[in-house]
Chain A
């Protein structure tokens, strides 16, 4: 079945970087854009950016430009989101989601990766 499997929870210190992976299965990885969305504890959803797995092209929300890098490895159908210079307010659940007709999130979501930033 179609699914996105994300990497496990991370604990990082302020100033460090984190790289979250999202492995796709059950569909053609290069056929669908991938969004990254995060959710801080008790807060709403926040769109971070997306990647075209076919070309590698990306677009990031202005808020994250300069700190986020989205990449992919088509040989293993995996997308990555790396966030650098972490701050405590980056503590959140990070989701990958397969785009569906320009929906901003998508029809298939990973279960989320919890990233905790704490000294």
Chain B
């Protein structure tokens, strides 16, 4: 099972919006609405930001949104804030009770 493909880095200025893509295949992202997104600050455990493609857990800001088209899922962060600077990982169900993560994207807030 190959890792999902994410851009290595993205950047944006405070107040702007950014989108992080996550490309998989018809065997994972394209087949299931079980894509999740995680935020990870240095030295910390990941935090769930989005599940089932576009749902937010309780307590996650509505500035974070998720979507999917075909084999590509996306995470959009609007109204960028300094504290959004972190690594972001997508994850998708890949069938047969297996999951696969993306390689991660480093978000820099300029």
Contacts and interface: CB of A to CB of B under 8 A. Distances in A.
A59 B95 CA distance: 11
Contacts of A100: 48, 51, 57
6 contacts: A37-B46, A44-B3, A47-B101, A101-B51, A103-B51, A107-B57
Interface in A28-56: 35, 37, 44-47, 50
B45 A109 contact: yes
Chain A residues touching B, majority SS:
loop
A46 B101 contact: yes
Interface string B86-110: 0001011100111111111000000
Interface of A: 35, 37, 44-47, 50, 59, 61-62, 95, 97, 100-107, 109-112
B34 interface: yes
A104 B45 contact: no
Nearest to A61: B98
Contacts of A61: 1, 98
A111 to B, nearest CB: 6
A44 to B, nearest CB: 4
Contact of B89 (A35, A45, A97): A45
A103 B89 CA distance: 12
Contacts of B103: 44
Nearest to B40: A45
Contacts of A95: 45-46
